[in-house]
Structure 1
Amino acid sequence: MSDFLNLQEFLNIAKEEDLFAIVRPGPFICAEFESGGFPSWLLREEDIDFRNSNPTYMKYVTRWFNVLLPILTMLQFTSGGPIVALQVENEYALSGKHDLSYLRKLRQLMLDNGIKELLVTSDNPPRGTYGTIPELFFMTGNFNKNVKNQLDMLKTLQPGKPVMVMEYWSGWFDSWGSRHNSFPVEMFKEGYETILSYSASVNIYMFSGGTNFGFLNGASNNILHDDKYYFKPVTTSYDYLSPLDEAGNYTDKYWAIKELLQKYNKVKTRLIEPPEFQDTESYPTIRLEQQLPLSDLLPFLPNVTSKTVVPMEKLDVNQNNGQSYGYIVYRKTNVDIPANGTLLIEGRIFDTAMVLVNGVLISPWLERVKDLKRFGTYQIKDSSIVLSTTEVKQATIEIVVENWGRVNQGSYKQYKGLWQGGVKLNDAYLYDWTIYPVEFQKKLTDLLSGWKKVNNSTVGPCLFKANLHIAGKPRDTFLYMENWKKGIVIVNGFVLGRYARMGPTQTLYLPATLLQQGDNRIYVFEHFKPALKVEFSKTILYNVH
């Protein structure tokens, strides 16, 4: 991910292109990003509370800002840079907190680090001043419906000041197991013209569609009470129905924006010709070459022994920072399973689970929306499953739990794995587990050996390998994954993202920058049943099963 993280270079490019920048450093950013931008290792602090004046939380915020803000200070407009404003927090009125002293502390940290530009907050206008301090911050709004009314609210909330829409939503994000969202160009154009005719400033969110590469998608949970757990993980695609789509190409909304700006912008500026359309490629289908079952993958990983099951974040791995992403495997050996022995997982699974007995998958497949109500998902509290109809001596039980994305708004202490209780076989707790963090770091895929010939009848978690040979210059493409069931794709050691046949997204955007001329290694970690081939598409595709 290091190639994505040069903030200073990014802002200098904006300056070179004669663009202004509004920087939103958080510490909470939302953006449907994993945990709203908070690192998971914060959860190792037992006394931490998020998005308020909690001393432990503020200790880390201060440390973060004292590194980040000096970089931004040098790039302020008053110092010759592109930054004209900074946003404090994000939609704080929705946070479930109301700690105005916390907002004051964030502001003071910015001032102490040399920030001189305008400080703003952003929220939904109907929430009024609940998430801001009007005398300290310029208030902006986020919305895409009832546009005129929301603009009037902003004007009433801070009379005599300009009106600005920080987020005019060009569409909406998608969640696994839900239908693809829509926001037609006609509706978008009507709202955008209302803003421009109001003489308000406007920032479009999103202008360019994005991708939640790797394991970085967030999730929503609008009902926080555990008895009604409403977890909805966001898809890898963050196309958002944007004016520039996920691959960076023009949509009807782009041309609508250009038309309206020409109509309402009284100050004419020199405009460069838009870059040419960059066509995508649908590469030929490639066959799987080799496979590595989960049992052959685990020996390459570190492991931790524990009397009881513990969440990812509590594992003493990664220099005692815990595990952030991927999967966690709980293995219990030498178990005598009686006939019709039932495994009970107390509490909820965070987020999905596969159960194997002696390497054989015995839990149901998760491939359709309706399967979310079966064993092995977060929707079921106190999940149970029969391990075997016959007696099995000295068995090995493996529970493979997937982190499907941490909630990015409203819920913050989100441990992943098994942690709300113990694991029972019939009425007896199982103790003394060996726990493996499966993070799919690049160094892992480089080290793997012992690959086997592809077995067409393989069922259960397994890593597959294929090769894409590109003779000329690589081009953007989409991996078409609808014929697979559920899992992740890795390209040249880089975790591209997640797929799930249930939909709505059936493709994964693969930018040319992640490919190379010659051979490209494509790995697919499939939970249930492989398609035995990797297919490609020129466009993003949607379908729900």
Structure 2
Amino acid sequence: MLHHFVVFVLLVACTSAQLPTLYEYYTADGITSGLSVDQPYFTLNGKNITILSGAMHYFRIPPQHWRDRIRKLRAAGLNTLETYVSWNLHEPENGRFDFGSGGTDMEQFLDLQTYLKIAQEEDLFVILRPGPYICAEWEWGGFPSWLLREEGIKVRTSDQTYMGYVTRYFGELLPLLTDLQFTKGGPIIAVQVENEYGSAPTKDLEYIRQVHDLLRDQGIVELLVSSDGASAGTSGTLPDLIFQTVNFGGSPTWNFDTLKNMQPGKPIMVMEYWTGWFDHWSESHHTVDNDTFYGIYNEILAYPASASMYMFHGGTNFGFLNGANIGAGDNSGYQPTTTSYDYDAPLSEAGDYTGKYEIVKELVKKYNPVETLTPDQPELVPRVAYPSVTIEGQLSFDEITKLVPDIVTSDTLLSMEQLPINDGSGQSYGYTVYRQYSLNIPADSVLTITGHVRDTVMILINGVLVSDSLSSSSDLNSFGYYRQANSNITLTSTDIEDATLDIVIENWGRANFGNLYQQFKGLIDSNSVYLNNEELTSSWSIIPLEFKKSWNTQVFQWNSVDGGLANGPGLYRGTFTLEDDAVDTYIDMQEWDKGIVIVNGFVLGRHALIGPQQSLYLPGPFLQQGENEIIIFEQFTPAAEIKFSENPIFKTV
């Protein structure tokens, strides 16, 4: 019996060794052509190919885990990796670029060239989606907020000012990518022109032509594609120049038949088959059951069609980089996305295999006629629940604001983007404090903010919070949140003289879809502030709380917690020591209310008791041997400990 087993293993090994790699199969005789759509099926370098792709965004994955996630994608049998490119990360300030060595807080995520080279090393092709608009449930759909400083700018149009910035950005980005194209020996087989432009509220096809021409002029020679819902038809693209794909979460046959009628005689492809869905704060965690996933993915491959799964691995909206949905421009229909971008994908937020992963392996093996060598599934990245950390230091809100160097004095309200900081680029993320000194506030005084706030507001008098905490989703309908127009609050039941009034506004994420054109945050020109019907119009001190790493890692003079924890807003600090190599974990935030978590100076993400997300994924590479520091900016009620979990925590809302 043992002899037969050894022979079987040897036969399997020989068979596997005889299979070509993906690149050997498609390039063994040299490269003469790229991805072709000149017939009803795809060919790559003259050979038939079914594109079997999965989306994974380099900016949502710790770079130390890039290879692990990419190898897991290849081990499922897929042959292509798809990723967006994030303009707001690569040019976070006007004219300051970061592609992995620019010194920004997200620097470690931004070596796009290395990410694409790893994909090729792991035997994968690449579909690149450089935007400039990417949607992606990402802050302002990938646009850098400093664009808003240009009065009258119209993003996603041929507006000369906007296109000037796009041209400059592409002039920095695309030269990094041209040598990584397939026909030049690299992994990129296709490049997308903009993104879902058929869903744009205002369409300007001259803009699409200009983006197309920029890509070509900058040396992009591979297939150019668009992606849209099938119902958009050709309204968002140029069919004579750009190959069309569709996006959907169901009804593959209807979508593909519609695409076939729009684009006869061409291959059929879904660029985004939505494997799950994302979460907004105050919603229940979204899932798509495995049977539904199996049925749809099977129908796609059986059609037959090529497909890219969105997402194959969702990852995390680290820092302040989550996007939002928005209804009307007044912010009343605002829906901020959570820090977790798990997406109920085949690979979980932390890179675990799910039931969908096994379904992908099964169906890809069933339908892909080209058999190539694939790696064994990598072992799971280990994860633990570390011992709880006791809060050992705290700073009050007043003490926090005294540590901010860039305080702006203004006689008018300025949005965060308009503040004269960051070399003229304004404030992109975080909180903005609007302060008035020396106010006399009689008993029962009413403060009114006109319009809809963008996006949450806390009111403090003499450093003490007087507005209510966010303890349930229904609180979003009350003062302090975006749903209520012209909201007001009674400040005090007693007279207060010579008072300091703080209005603290949070940017909870700029919208990534829909009405993108007015994305100012803070107190904007449609807001006015009244105290007892008298407008406060002058002498504003505006304090940006950006929570950049350079500020977060200062040596603060922390106050003792021996007398108990003061209610927020405030900073709360705990430390713990690791003697061994760090591994992944989750921070359990169920006992905290709302705010952000900072680990070793890096803003990990947001927490909110209203859910559904109740834990924050903390990759081991963000920790270090020796002392580690966790700081929580808690807006309302702190907990005495920071707890950990081996697994993510969601609650039903």
**TM-score interval, smaller chain:** over 0.9
Provide the C-alpha distance between the structure 2 equivalents of 1:225 and 1:526, rounded to a whole number of angstroms. 29
Structure with greater strand percent: 1
500, 512, 516: which one aligns with 2:624: 516
- The residue correspondences of 1:413-424 to structure 2 (distance < 5 A) are 413-419=518-524, 420-424=526-530
- Taking a change above 3 Å as real, the CA distance of residues 159 and 36 of structure 1, as seen in their structure-2 partners, is same
Are residue 428 (structure 1) and residue 534 (structure 2) matched? Answer: yes
Please name the residue that 2:649 is paired with: 541
Provide the C-alpha distance between the structure 2 equivalents of 1:10 and 1:250, rounded to a whole number of angstroms. 21
209, 214, 235: which one aligns with 2:314: 209
Asked if 1 retains the 8 angstrom alpha-carbon contact of 2:228 and 2:246, the reply is: yes
Provide the C-alpha distance between the structure 2 equivalents of 1:355 and 1:345, rounded to a whole number of angstroms. 11
Query: How far 1:515 moved relative to its partner?
Result: 0.7
Identity %: 50
Please name the residue that 1:477 is paired with: 585
Please name the residue that 1:449 is paired with: 556
Asked if 2 retains the 8 angstrom alpha-carbon contact of 1:280 and 1:538, the reply is: yes
Query: How far 1:299 moved relative to its partner?
Result: 1.5
Provide the C-alpha distance between the structure 2 equivalents of 1:384 and 1:486, rounded to a whole number of angstroms. 21
Are residue 406 (structure 1) and residue 510 (structure 2) matched? Answer: yes
CA distances 1:302-323 after superposition (whole Å, capped 9, x unpaired): 2000112211001001111100
Asked if 1 retains the 8 angstrom alpha-carbon contact of 2:329 and 2:515, the reply is: no
- The residue correspondences of 1:228-377 to structure 2 (distance < 5 A) are 229-301=332-404, 302-377=406-481
**After alignment, is 230-239 or 336-345 more displaced?**
336-345
CA distances 1:240-281 after superposition (whole Å, capped 9, x unpaired): 001110001100100110011111112211121110122311
Query: How far 1:225 moved relative to its partner?
Result: 5.0
- The residue correspondences of 1:1-400 to structure 2 (distance < 5 A) are 1-221=106-326, 223-226=327-330, 229-301=332-404, 302-400=406-504
Provide the C-alpha distance between the structure 2 equivalents of 1:421 and 1:471, rounded to a whole number of angstroms. 52
CA distances 1:467-488 after superposition (whole Å, capped 9, x unpaired): 1222211111001101100000
- Taking a change above 3 Å as real, the CA distance of residues 459 and 270 of structure 1, as seen in their structure-2 partners, is same
Q: What one-letter code is carried by the residue in structure 1 that aligns with 2:592?
A: W
Q: What one-letter code is carried by the residue in structure 2 that aligns with 1:424?
A: Y
- Taking a change above 3 Å as real, the CA distance of residues 536 and 237 of structure 1, as seen in their structure-2 partners, is same
SS of residue matched to 1:453: coil
Q: What one-letter code is carried by the residue in structure 2 that aligns with 1:462?
A: G
**After alignment, is 445-454 or 359-368 more displaced?**
445-454
Query: How far 1:19 moved relative to its partner?
Result: 0.8
Query: How far 1:522 moved relative to its partner?
Result: 0.3
CA distances 1:101-159 after superposition (whole Å, capped 9, x unpaired): 11111111111111110000000112111111111111001112112111111111101
Provide the C-alpha distance between the structure 2 equivalents of 1:218 and 1:31, rounded to a whole number of angstroms. 8
- Taking a change above 3 Å as real, the CA distance of residues 423 and 448 of structure 1, as seen in their structure-2 partners, is farther
Provide the C-alpha distance between the structure 2 equivalents of 1:119 and 1:466, rounded to a whole number of angstroms. 50
SS of residue matched to 2:451: strand
Q: What one-letter code is carried by the residue in structure 2 that aligns with 1:461?
A: P
CA distances 1:333-361 after superposition (whole Å, capped 9, x unpaired): 10000111111112121100110011111
592, 598, 605: which one aligns with 1:490: 598
CA distances 1:21-59 after superposition (whole Å, capped 9, x unpaired): 010000000000000000000000002011011111111
CA distances 1:449-496 after superposition (whole Å, capped 9, x unpaired): 221012535122000000122221111100110110000000000000
Asked if 1 retains the 8 angstrom alpha-carbon contact of 2:409 and 2:541, the reply is: yes
CA distances 1:158-215 after superposition (whole Å, capped 9, x unpaired): 0100001101111000000111111011111111111111121111111012100000
Provide the C-alpha distance between the structure 2 equivalents of 1:131 and 1:108, rounded to a whole number of angstroms. 16
Unmatched segments (≥5 aa) in structure 1: none
Q: What one-letter code is carried by the residue in structure 2 that aligns with 1:197?
A: A
Q: What one-letter code is carried by the residue in structure 2 that aligns with 1:149?
A: W
Provide the C-alpha distance between the structure 2 equivalents of 1:168 and 1:261, rounded to a whole number of angstroms. 15
Provide the C-alpha distance between the structure 1 equivalents of 2:620 and 2:553, rounded to a whole number of angstroms. 21
Query: How far 1:517 moved relative to its partner?
Result: 1.4
Q: What one-letter code is carried by the residue in structure 2 that aligns with 1:405?
A: G
**Normalization by structure 1: what TM-score?**
0.98
Q: What one-letter code is carried by the residue in structure 1 that aligns with 2:399?
A: D
Asked if 1 retains the 8 angstrom alpha-carbon contact of 2:384 and 2:645, the reply is: yes
Provide the C-alpha distance between the structure 1 equivalents of 2:435 and 2:304, rounded to a whole number of angstroms. 62
Query: How far 1:502 moved relative to its partner?
Result: 0.2
SS of residue matched to 2:164: helix
**Normalization by structure 2: what TM-score?**
0.82
Unmatched segments (≥5 aa) in structure 2: 1-105
SS of residue matched to 2:592: coil
Asked if 2 retains the 8 angstrom alpha-carbon contact of 1:501 and 1:544, the reply is: no
Query: How far 1:377 moved relative to its partner?
Result: 0.5
Provide the C-alpha distance between the structure 2 equivalents of 1:345 and 1:113, rounded to a whole number of angstroms. 48
Query: How far 1:216 moved relative to its partner?
Result: 0.2
Asked if 1 retains the 8 angstrom alpha-carbon contact of 2:453 and 2:527, the reply is: no
Q: What one-letter code is carried by the residue in structure 2 that aligns with 1:212?
A: N
The root-mean-square deviation of aligned C-alpha atoms, in Å, is: 1.1
Larger Rg: 2
SS of residue matched to 1:237: coil
Asked if 2 retains the 8 angstrom alpha-carbon contact of 1:484 and 1:530, the reply is: yes
Provide the C-alpha distance between the structure 2 equivalents of 1:39 and 1:347, rounded to a whole number of angstroms. 25
Provide the C-alpha distance between the structure 1 equivalents of 2:114 and 2:398, rounded to a whole number of angstroms. 43
Query: How far 1:448 moved relative to its partner?
Result: 4.2
Provide the C-alpha distance between the structure 1 equivalents of 2:607 and 2:613, rounded to a whole number of angstroms. 8
551, 568, 572: which one aligns with 1:464: 572
Number of aligned residues? 543
**After alignment, is 141-150 or 482-491 more displaced?**
141-150
Provide the C-alpha distance between the structure 2 equivalents of 1:143 and 1:191, rounded to a whole number of angstroms. 10
Provide the C-alpha distance between the structure 1 equivalents of 2:206 and 2:555, rounded to a whole number of angstroms. 51
SS of residue matched to 1:211: coil
Q: What one-letter code is carried by the residue in structure 2 that aligns with 1:14?
A: A
Query: How far 1:421 moved relative to its partner?
Result: 2.5
Provide the C-alpha distance between the structure 2 equivalents of 1:427 and 1:477, rounded to a whole number of angstroms. 51
Asked if 2 retains the 8 angstrom alpha-carbon contact of 1:296 and 1:450, the reply is: no
Asked if 2 retains the 8 angstrom alpha-carbon contact of 1:354 and 1:401, the reply is: yes
Query: How far 1:367 moved relative to its partner?
Result: 2.1
Query: How far 1:294 moved relative to its partner?
Result: 1.1
